[in-house]
A and B are shown apart, each in its own frame.
Chain A
Amino acid sequence: MQLRTRALETILLEKGYIDPAALDVLIETYEKKIGPRNGAKVVAKAWTDSQYRQWLFTDGTAAIESLGFSGRSGNHLVALENTPAVHNMVVCTLCSCYPWAVLGLPPVWYKSAPYRSRTIADPRGVLRDFGVKLPKDTEIHVWDSTSELRYLVVPMRPVATEGWSEEQLAELVTRDSMIGTGLAKSPMDVK
């Protein structure tokens, strides 16, 4: 694939269709700059600021953009609230749609056949693959990203975190907890 990709890039450069510096910016941005730390900040703020939380669930796009996160796969964002009664999971069965603006690029497992095929039919089985077990009567709500809407799961705030700062709380928010295949870390996990 290395050779094939280089060959295609050479052709496109020779024809003047692309500016190589633009390619570097694209790679730099998605490899290093945009990632799940963005989403973690959003969640941590929602945990500490009840007005922001309300805004986030009413107008996800605006609330998230107010923190400086927007752009590609971030124009139409919806935040999903995890509660003891309802656990949310996000998938794109048809391809790999993912909220790039707040989570960066998706991991391989999210884009792969096992996740895409099973999550909508057997969400508890998929959670088992991640070592997550929920109470039997917790409803699981799966969201298949078929349009340009992108979903961000807001996990439940872990116990024993009273008085924690947003920065400290953001450390507990894992990428998987914002997709719904994990839960936020507990203070024990970070010690």
Chain B
Amino acid sequence: MNGAHDMGGMHGFGPVRPEPDEPVFHAEWEKRALALTLAMAMPGGWNIDASRFARENRDPAEYLAMSYYQIWFAGLETLLKERDLVTDDEIVVGHGLHPPKPVKRTLSPDDVLKVLHRGRPTERDTNTKAAFKAGDKVRAKNINPVTHTRLPRYVRGHVGVIERVIGCHVFPDSNATGAGENPQWLYTVRFGGRELWGLDGDPTSAVSVDAWEPYLEPAR
């Protein structure tokens, strides 16, 4: 979706301000927000693409007014409510009021280390052939889905070159909406600074994005 999260190329946010000796977490609640989100993925039955969409799918004014972990927390509330795991009245009082929904499994402490170690590979087998190869000129399509996509606005319509054929990977645009993994060929595509930004662009810079085949078409 063309949400506030898709901020590549925006002006007005000011300089980058690194915090010296920044702690990993700035408050106890941030740790809890992170841990709860990760721990609930298994019983909640959602995938990472759905959780990203839950975070970005909100009013831009709201998104931009929140800190990073506030966005995570808001996304978690959205996911829990969407799946009837928690209700609004329970959130208000801070206690369970209705019987829990049966879940397939919960994350045990032993699971954590296993899951963290294994991660979540997204590569899948396929018997289709990649449409593009390294060196091909491609154009990023001008798509404007209202649902989740990983093709940023600043790239759409622009011509780049395939740098690498990565493999066949879970396609977030489908996976986020529960339509299934629908794996597609994934490529790294390089765009020149001037191609993206016109004469305002730095001619000595280039931007690479990872783009799935449905985002691309051949360019002359």
State if A and B touch, Cβ cutoff 8 Å: yes
Q: List 9 A-B contacts (CB under 8 A).
A: A1-B69, A17-B106, A26-B39, A72-B115, A114-B13, A116-B8, A120-B154, A121-B8, A149-B166
Q: Do residues A146 and B209 form an inter-chain contact, with CB atoms below 8 A?
A: yes
Interface of B, secondary structure class, is mixed
A18, A70, A129, A140: which contacts B16 (Cβ < 8 A)? A129
Chain B residue contacts of A142, Cβ below 8 A: 205-208
B219: interface (CB < 8 Å): no
Interface residues on A, range: 35 or more
Which residues 1-34 of A sit at the B interface, judged by CB distance below 8 A?
Answer: 1-12, 14-19, 21-27, 29-31
Q: Mark B204-218, 1 if CB is under 8 A from A, else 0.
A: 111111111000000
Which residues 156-214 of B sit at the A interface, judged by CB distance below 8 A?
Answer: 166, 169-170, 172, 186, 188, 190, 196-197, 200-202, 204-212
A26, A31, A73, A95: which contacts B5 (Cβ < 8 A)? A95
B108: interface (CB < 8 Å): yes
B70: interface (CB < 8 Å): yes
A123: interface (CB < 8 Å): yes
Q: Do residues A6 and B29 form an inter-chain contact, with CB atoms below 8 A?
A: yes
Inter-chain CA distance A105–B23, complex, in Å, is 10
- Closest residue of chain B to A73 (Cβ to Cβ) is B119
Q: Mark A18-60, 1 if CB is under 8 A from B, else 0.
A: 1101111111011100010000000000000000000000000
Interface residues on B, range: 35 or more
Inter-chain CA distance A130–B196, complex, in Å, is 24
B55, B169, B196: which contacts A95 (Cβ < 8 A)? B55
Inter-chain CA distance A13–B69, complex, in Å, is 20
B112: interface (CB < 8 Å): yes
Q: Mark A106-140, 1 if CB is under 8 A from B, else 0.
A: 01110111111110111110100110000011111
Inter-chain CA distance A109–B108, complex, in Å, is 32
Inter-chain CA distance A144–B156, complex, in Å, is 14
Q: Do residues A15 and B96 form an inter-chain contact, with CB atoms below 8 A?
A: yes
Q: Do residues A113 and B38 form an inter-chain contact, with CB atoms below 8 A?
A: no
Q: Do residues A109 and B18 form an inter-chain contact, with CB atoms below 8 A?
A: yes
Q: Do residues B91 and A7 form an inter-chain contact, with CB atoms below 8 A?
A: yes
Q: Do residues A115 and B27 form an inter-chain contact, with CB atoms below 8 A?
A: no
Q: Do residues A72 and B11 form an inter-chain contact, with CB atoms below 8 A?
A: no
B133: interface (CB < 8 Å): no
Q: Do residues B22 and A146 form an inter-chain contact, with CB atoms below 8 A?
A: no
Inter-chain CA distance A185–B43, complex, in Å, is 44
Chain B residue contacts of A74, Cβ below 8 A: 119
The winner among B5, B6, B39 for most chain A CB atoms within 10 A is: B39
Q: Do residues A15 and B117 form an inter-chain contact, with CB atoms below 8 A?
A: no
Inter-chain CA distance A105–B197, complex, in Å, is 31
Chain A residue contacts of B188, Cβ below 8 A: 149
Inter-chain CA distance A18–B106, complex, in Å, is 6
Q: Do residues A8 and B91 form an inter-chain contact, with CB atoms below 8 A?
A: yes
The winner among A10, A35, A94 for most chain B CB atoms within 10 A is: A94
Knowing A12-B36, A146-B210, say if A120 contacts B196 (CB, 8 Å): yes
Q: Do residues A22 and B169 form an inter-chain contact, with CB atoms below 8 A?
A: no
Q: Do residues B29 and A108 form an inter-chain contact, with CB atoms below 8 A?
A: no
- Closest residue of chain A to B19 (Cβ to Cβ) is A108
A71: interface (CB < 8 Å): yes
Q: Which 8 pairs, one residue from A and one from B, show the smallest C-beta to C-beta distance?
A: A7-B94, A93-B8, A147-B210, A15-B100, A14-B96, A117-B10, A5-B29, A113-B13
Min Cβ gap A88→B in Å is 9
